[in-house]
Each structure stands twice: as structure tokens, then as C-alpha cells.
Amino acid sequence: MKKSLFIAALLSVVFVSCDNEKKLQEVEIPDALLTDQVKSDENFGNPAAVKAEGKFQMQGLKYGYDGLSKVIDPETVSIHYGKHHLGYANNLNKAIVGTPMENQTIEEILVTLDPANAAVRNNAGGYYNHNLYWDVLSNTPQAASPEFTQAIVNNFGSNEELIKQLKEAGAKQFGSGWSWLVVTPEGKLVVTSTANQDNPLMPNAVVKGTPVIGIDVWEHAYYLNYQNKRADYLDQIFEIIDWKTVSDNYTKAIAKK
């Protein structure tokens, strides 16, 4: 009955409007009807406002929360960076208070950590891993350097083969973890994977090396867009890999050999 009265009232407004030959006027669209893209800044804020408590700070993002939206939605980026990544930074800072690690770099902590120290292992790994992950993603990805392109050919035969191996490493990682491209102590490029927040810098790593690409395959990295379809996420992520940044990482890693 109420529905019928509402429709009748609505029609009466239309008919009266037509009878009076009133001109249509522009109206303001409620916020609820705006697209997610338009609302993203209002809803999720500014990544620069995310601050850690303690020595190790958030390195920031080179884009807004909506900057990767062709592959990863703004809400996922906001939660991933402002909740998960921030949590690792804060918990790492708490775990190293009053220890010699307060005076070490994140790389020094990872290389020398005691794998039995779960608080440092998980949070130092989570902090470092996410720094690399966000850094190699871009809303305006650029091409690899000639030197890095040649290194890919020398080690994998082609860029297509490298991407194939990175996808497979991520897809086959049971549970949460990471897919990596690393420079080994011998200077070779190798693809590997690790569980949880471990990485190839740690003493317990099966394949040791300096990471130049890290791809997060924890569900929080992709679930809102891809649900349980990790392979679909891995198919798309390479559309926003900035190969110039990866090339720079490679150059720095090689220089340390």
C-alpha cells in the first residue's frame, strides 16, 4: 500500500511539473552516487599521512591509493599500506627497542637475525618486503634498462620466461608468501619464493640473494578484486611493474658484489 502511494505521489509531481511547463534545473548529485574513482581520496585519505611510531618509518607511496586501480582497487591499497604494512613497521619498532638492532639498517637486521626470534623475523620481513613491493609498482611503469634487459636474456632467455617463472613461483607458494627475483652472491638472477614474511636476505632462506622484485601473494594483497583467484592477480600485476625501478635495484645489487 505504501509503495502504491509513493508511486502515485511521484507521478503527481511529474504531471504538475509538466502542466506548469517548468524548466528542468541542474541538481547536485549526492555523494553516494559518485563513482569510487572520484570518491577515493575522500574515502581513503592520503598515504603521506600514514606514520609509524619509532625508528623505521613508512617510506611513502609514489602514487595515491587509486593510482594502481587498473589492477588493484583503492580500498585494497589503503588497507594493505595503512593497516598491514604500518602494523609491521610499528611492531618491528617495538621489537628492537633496547637491542643493538636499534642501530642497524633493515638489511643488517635481516641478514643477521635469529630465525627463532619470531617478532623480529616476521615484522622486519614484513616491513622490508612491503617497501620493495610498493616501490616496484607504478601507475606509469617504464621500460627496463639495456643492461638489465641483457641480464634477463642471459639468465632466462627472455622477459616472457622471467615473468612466467615469477608467476609460477607465486602461484605454487602454499599459503601466504612472496615471489622473488633476486641477485645471488654470484651475480646471477634467480626466481624463488618464501613463506609468510620471510625473504632471501634471511639466514634461513633456501635461495639467498638481494631482492630486486618482490610480489606479495598474501590474500590481503588481492582478495577484494580477485577473491581466491591468485593466478588472475599474478596475470595482472605485471601491467604495473616498473621495470626501470627494477633495473635500478639490479644495478645497486650488482655494485655490491
Chain segment 89-109, per-residue pLDDT in tens: 999 999 999 999 999 999 999
Give the cell for residue 126. Answer: 614484513
Among the ranges given (16-25, 106-115, 217-226, 245-254), the one the predictor scored with the smallest mean pLDDT: 16-25
Q: What is the DSSP string of 108-172?
A: HHHHH--TT-HHHHHHHHHHHHHHHHHHTB-SS--PPPHHHHHHHHHHHSSHHHHHHHHHHHHHH
Give the cell for residue 211. Answer: 631482492
Q: Which residues of 151-168 are buried (b: 16+ CB within 10 A; e: fewer)?
A: bbeebbeeeeebbebbbe
Kindly state the average pLDDT of the residues 183-189.
97
Q: What is the dihedral of CA 163, 192, 172, 244, to 10 degrees?
A: -30
Kindly state the average pLDDT of the residues 63-81.
97
**With bands split at pLDDT 50, 70 and 90, how would you rate the model's confidence at 44?**
confident
Query: Cα dist. 30→27, 36, 42, 51, 60 in Å?
Result: 9, 13, 14, 32, 32
Position 257 scores a pLDDT of 76
Position 202 scores a pLDDT of 98
Q: Is residue 243 predicted with pLDDT exceeding 60?
A: yes
Q: Is residue 2 predicted with pLDDT exceeding 80?
A: no
What is d(CA 85, CA 129) in angstroms, rounded to the nearest whole number? 9
Position 43 scores a pLDDT of 77
Position 41 scores a pLDDT of 53
Element (H, E) at 16: helix 2-19
Q: Is residue 118 predicted with pLDDT exceeding 90?
A: yes
Position 32 scores a pLDDT of 34
CA atoms within 13 A on the CB side of 107: 5
Position 42 scores a pLDDT of 66
Mean pLDDT value across the chain: 87
Q: Count H helices and E strands in the chain, helices first.
A: 11, 3
What is the largest distance, in Å, between two alpha-carbon atoms of the chain?
85
Kindly state the average pLDDT of the residues 105-117.
98
3 state SS of 255: helix
Give the cell for residue 133. Answer: 613491493
Q: Is residue 127 predicted with pLDDT exceeding 70?
A: yes
CATH architecture of 71-257: 3-Layer(bab) Sandwich (3.55)
Give the cell for residue 247. Answer: 633495473
- By the 10 Å C-beta count (0-12 exposed, 13-18 middle, 19+ buried), 43 is classed as middle
Residue 69 is classified by DSSP as: T
Q: At what angle do helices 230-237 and 159-172 cross, to 10 degrees?
A: 150
